[in-house]
Amino acid sequence: MSPTAALIKAALNSNFGWSAVRHRLLVQKRDRWMVPLIALAVVSVVPTLVLYVRLLSAGFDMLQSLGQEKAMLTLAVLSGQLIILIFGLFYLIATFYFSRDLEYLLALPLKPSQIMLSKFSVVLVNEYLTIAPIILPLLIVYGVKRRAGLGYWLVMPLSYLLLPVIPLTVAGIAVVGMMRLVNVGRKKDLLIILGSLVLIAAAFFLQFGLSRAAGTSGPDPQKIISLIASPDGLVQSIGRRFPPAIWATRFLHNGLFTGTGLAGFALFAGVSTLLFGVLMAGGQRLFFGGLVGLSERSGGGRRSKAGRIFRFSSGPHPIKAIFLRELRLMNRTPIFLLNGVLGVIMVPFLFALMPSSGRPGDDRTDIMRLMTAAKPATAVLVITLFMVICATLSGVASSSFSREGRKFWISKVIPVDYRRQVLAKFLHSMAIAMLGLGSATAVVLFRLHAEAGKWLPGLALALPVTAFLTSLNLAVDLARPLLDWISPQKAMKQNLNVLIAMLLDLGFLFLYGLAFIKLGKSGLGLTPVLGTMGALGLALAGAGYALLTRFALRRYPAIEA
Amino acid sequence: MIEILHVSKSYNKGAVRAVDDLTLTVPPGEIFGFLGPNGAGKTTTIKMIVGILKPDGGTIRIGGLDNRLEALRTKAMTAYVPDEPEIYERLKGIEYLNFIGDVYGVSASDRRSRVARWLDAFELSRAAGDPIQTYSHGMRQKIILTAALMVKPRVLVLDEPMVGLDPRSSHLLKEALRAHCDEGGTLFFSTHIMEVAERLCDRIGIIHKGRLAAFGTMAELQAQAKDKASLENIFLELTEK
């Protein structure tokens, strides 16, 4: 096996833990309970998938009636590539520059491009998995509804395999360049965070630009007629600021054995190859510069002045000490900060930044007004759910124990009651959730212009539900903490616990919403409904925290770090 | 001070027996050296003493208290230094020391004097204000040792503490450990360096394939062995099977 192939194989194995999983399941005979749980999680996704496929099917019928069904392919390619561009940035920064195995790889007789290629492969496979539930149904529905021939079914997998290459290589070139630029001086972490924010902002502005190009900024009857009149009208409109989507549409729709199809494929594959070549060539020159600079810190550098007077804490405050530890570790690890803290602040604001004018008369603002006027209870429920989602879906609580990684031994040996340790973690997770709540409240207030009579009860209901879900998410991670990770990204966004917790949270919120609606329909007035739901939230928050601490007493001693 | 009574631990659902019915006692004031080849069960034993691993069977007492039933009290009288200096890299050295001081309840004045003493001894004073991620392996080892010595526990449990230390720091550490035991403290440490064990330890235990192959003072070990020339010879003789 060539060194490059061996490296790629080892990187994929190490990232996805196939050998480790096989060993745990077949040799150690541990974690077998996970198999039915994962099967259950997969089965539970089926109803949502069926709903999605029905929606796509209806969408296809509608587009077909206008003679614009090709636009579905353009949308599939475009949305898949935008998802990859934004999420790929996080993955690439973490995998290229913050994997623990890099210091060993640097010492091996390997070219920078070989190391980068192995890391790129890991991200690429991750992206295939990430976009699969969104893009594959779209491509399959299109093929089935159009009764596509063998040609389509042969080209479709190829297009799926090529789909992430352009956005990932573009993101990769940006990341490698950014890391080389910021890897100077003493404030590297700060520069990495700022650089990442600039890249993410650029990706979002690109998305908004493309959304506008797709004509989402406002209906214009004249424009719509001219779009529909041309068979490629909608395709051209959606894809004109991102031509690869048009190329992919052509070779998927027309097949490879037509002039336009072949030209589309040649362009799509050619640009993918070209960008990949640029990334590898750029990596060969810049990758080690960005990477070695990071590890140079372990060489010492300039030390603090001698005779410096250190501040010592005034006395023993174990909970405060653990809370501060959590805060510092999260805020000082760029990947944790970007995924966790900045995530909860950014998500609501991204909602706010979505392309619409925000003026009265704008569609989204009007929908909120109409909803608020007709059914105030519904408005409160929507605001509550929005706030809770913004506060809890960051993965901060559901990766709280995993983030400790190989340092978990410290939590096991310190003489601090496990209840107090969990309290400190709960307070830290809640502090981050509060940032999300604050950010969501600002959006509800200033973007949706909700009245105090709606957002205040929404916030009051969201607080205890957030506390309950924080306990639940902590318990999920405590049940099976992922302590042996090589990249901080694995401790957060690629942590199965985060996904499990997210599914549980969404399931709970669905039930909470149902309960709210049932109560509303039972004839009770708004105030008793809010009171009941508030009391339910408080009871759940109290019970959830009590159960979490009981679970911690049982679970902590069993975790062998 | 440390009593290990019929302790066993296995991995892979019993397929690998890491520690097999181990029994030994380390009284107050004693330096106990725990030797054994790689994979013999040293680190597993140490991790069970400090509560990181749960034994499958048997009891471990520290200061007369069961370390599972009275976990908080036994932890409060124990400080542990692991074989790999895995600590919070994103904290500064002084922040790590303050964190340990806070959770062990070391007063600010004790902290100030002890930290100053050990940072100075290990030549870490200039680096203490810097993030731990900028430290070398040896410096990380020293900051963990400084934290352990700052706590001034009754029981010190150290897993290969000399690895990564320069000769001067190693010498200072040995002096500190002797002083700790002279004041009535207990030291349980593992090492692969036979000379250190031979010179420093009051008693030595050699573990092999999870079982205690030899236990006693240097003179007692020599009496048990055919080749009495050095601890290294005794070790090789006992662990070659």
In terms of domains, do A192 and A284 share one?
yes
Domain that holds residue A357: 318-558
Question: For position A360, what pLDDT does the model report?
Answer: 47
Q: Which chain A residue shows the shortest CA-CA distance from B80? A: A413
Chain A residues within an 8 Å CB radius of B108: 312-315
- Please tell me the distance in Å from A341's CA to the nearest CA on chain B: 16
Q: If 0-12 CB within 10 Å is exposed, 13-18 middle and 19+ buried, where does residue A199 land?
A: buried
| pLDDT given at position A187 | 64
pLDDT below 50 — which residues of chain A? Answer: 215-219, 297-301, 355, 357-361
What's the rounded Cα separation, in Å, for the pair A387 and A466? 9
Residue of B91, B104, B126 with shortest CB distance to A306: B126
Cβ burial of A7 (10 Å; 0-12, 13-18, 19+) is: buried
**Option in A318, A325, A412 nearest B88 (CB):** A325
Taking CA–CA distances from A332, the nearest residue in chain B reads: B90
Calculate Rg over the CA atoms of chain B.
Answer: 18
Tell whether A271 and A332 lie within a shared domain.
no
Structure-model confidence comparison of residues A216 and B64, the more confident one = B64
Q: HSE-up of A352 (CA within 13 Å, CB side)?
A: 17
Nearest to B80 among A315, A321, A413 (CB): A413
Clarify whether residues A166 and A88 are in a common domain: yes
Arithmetic mean of pLDDT, B208-226: 87
The pLDDT mean for chain B works out to 92
Q: Is residue A4 part of a domain?
A: no
Q: Residue B101 and residue A312: Cβ atoms within 8 Å?
A: yes
Q: Do A313 and B135 touch (CB under 8 A)?
A: no
Tokens 């370390």 correspond to what residue? Answer: B67
Domain match, A184 and A99 both: yes
Q: Is residue A291 domain-shared with residue A412, that is, in the same domain?
A: no
pLDDT score for A441:
93
Residues B98, A305: C-beta atoms closer than 8 Å = no
The dihedrals phi and psi of A306, each to the nearest 5 degrees, come to -65, 155
β-sheet bridge partners, residue B187: B31, B156
A9 occurs within a structural domain? no
Contact state of B54 with A558 under an 8 Å Cβ cutoff: yes
Element spanning B215, H or E: strand B211-216
Nearest to A560 among B54, B98, B112 (CB): B54
Look at B86 and A406 and tell me if their CB atoms are within 8 Å: yes
Are residues B64 and B27 in contact, defined by beta-carbon separation less than 8 angstroms? no
Question: In a 3-state reduction of DSSP, which class is residue A2?
Answer: coil
d(CA A175, CA A90): 9
pLDDT of residue A203: 66
* A256 and A355 together in one domain: no
Judgement on whether residues A328 and A470 belong to the same structural domain of the protein = yes
List the single residue in A29, A314, A409 with the smallest CB-CB distance to B82. A409
Give CA–CA dist A310/A55, Å, rounded: 63
The residue of chain A nearest to residue B132, with distances taken between CA atoms, is: A298
A190, part of any domain: yes
Selecting from B76, B90, B100 the residue whose C-beta is nearest the C-beta of A332 gives B90
| A297/B133 touch (CB, cutoff 8 Å), yes or no | yes
Average confidence (pLDDT) over B216-241: 80
| Alpha carbons A246 and A74: distance in angstroms, whole number | 6
Q: How many domains does chain A have?
A: 2
Residue of B nearest to A410 (CA): B87
Is residue A423 within a helix (H) or strand (E), and if so which, with residue range?
helix A418-446
Whether residues A285 and A326 share a domain: the answer is: no
Cβ separation A561–B52 shorter than 8 A: yes
The C-alpha R_g of chain A, in whole angstroms, comes to 26
Among A2-6, B19-23, B28-32, the least confident range = A2-6
Name every chain B residue with its beta carbon within 8 A of the beta carbon of A316: 101-107
Residues with Cβ within 8 Å of residue A456, at least 6 apart in sequence: none
The domain spans of chain B are: 85-152
Q: Which of A249, A268, A297 is the last residue of a domain?
A: A297
Q: Pick from B49, B74, B92, B102 the residue to mutate for testing the A interface (most A CBs within 10 Å).
A: B102
Cβ separation of B52 and A409 shorter than 8 Å? yes
Query: Domain check: are A282 and A342 in the same one?
Result: no
Give me the mean pLDDT over the B68-75 stretch: 94
Is the residue at A483 inside a domain?
yes
Residue A125 lies in a domain: yes
Q: Do A504 and A550 lie in a common domain?
A: yes
Closest residue of chain B to A297, computed from CA coordinates: B134
Q: What is the pLDDT of residue A196?
A: 74
Residue of B nearest to A296 (CA): B134
- Rounded to a whole number, what is the distance in Å from the CA of B209 to chain A's nearest CA? 19
Residues A459 and A505 occupy one common structural domain: yes
Verify whether the Cβ–Cβ distance B13 to A29 is below 8 Å: yes
> Taking CB atoms and an 8 Å cutoff, what residues of chain B touch A28?
11-13
- The predicted structure's pLDDT at residue A86: 74
CA dist., res. B103 & res. A201, Å (int): 41
3-state secondary structure A314-326: CCCCHHHHHHHHH
How far, in Å, are A107, A144, A276 from residue A164 at the CA level? 30, 23, 11
pTM for this predicted structure: 0.78
Interchain pair A414, B104: CB under 8 A: yes
A314 to B111: CB separation less than 8 angstroms, yes or no: no
* Whole-number pLDDT of residue A297: 47
Asked if B12's CB is within 8 angstroms of A410's CB, the reply is no
Tell me the C-alpha to C-alpha distance, in Å, between residue A537 and each of A66, A252, A544, B44: 48, 50, 10, 45
A289 lies in the same domain as A329: no
Cβ–Cβ below 8 Å for B12 and A29: yes
Q: Which residues of chain B have a CB within 8 Å of the CB of A417?
A: 72
Q: Do A301 and B134 touch (CB under 8 A)?
A: yes
User: Are the C-beta atoms of residues B143 and B124 closer than 8 Å to each other?
Assistant: yes
